[in-house]
Structure 1
Amino acid sequence: MPSISRSEVEHLARLARLAVTEEELDLFAGQLEKIVQAVAKVGQVADQDVPPMSHAVPLTNVFRSDVVRPGLTPQQALAAAPAAEDGRFRVPRILGEEA
């Protein structure tokens, strides 16, 4: 006997406001039963000896060491800018904001 009854499927369909035919009620009850059985099998597989994990294979982040390198001076950075003002990039005003 299925653990998901036809009346439960009908109730769920009503809650979800789904138009379901009589044949679909029987079909969905059988399909939901298979889903419940599959979830139950997954629950049986999980064992205390298996540690929780996020990936099937171990992953290790690869980091490079931080090395300080020379960067651009403010003058070099602003040299190719279309507009500069007070040592900064000048951009058009947005949203009508006051300066």
Structure 2
Amino acid sequence: MPSIKSMQAFLATASHLNFTHAASELNLTQGAISRQIQSLEQHLGTELFYRHARGLSLTPKGEQLSPLIEESLNQLHSALEKVSGGESKIRLNAPSCITSCYYQD
């Protein structure tokens, strides 16, 4: 099964049709995005993008896959949110002299 990271990289790249912009969206390097896409293409045994001098375009398989992956990741996100109660925890580390000013027991 492809990794969630490779599916996220695919969606970002499909959205922007540009590895650099997809990398910026996901806070990754262009090389990392390219490797994730190559991994997904290898796993599926098909190309998902046509590579042109001026950018990218989706192949028919890429066009078919994009909405399916988007829906699947949205469903996964919703399921995880339901299980966690929709709550998120944030942990901050700071020197005690700073936290004592803002946080009282």
Global fold match (TM > 0.5): no
Between structure 1 and structure 2, the one with the greater Rg is 1
TM superposition score normalised by structure 2: 0.28
Structure showing the higher helix proportion among its residues:
2
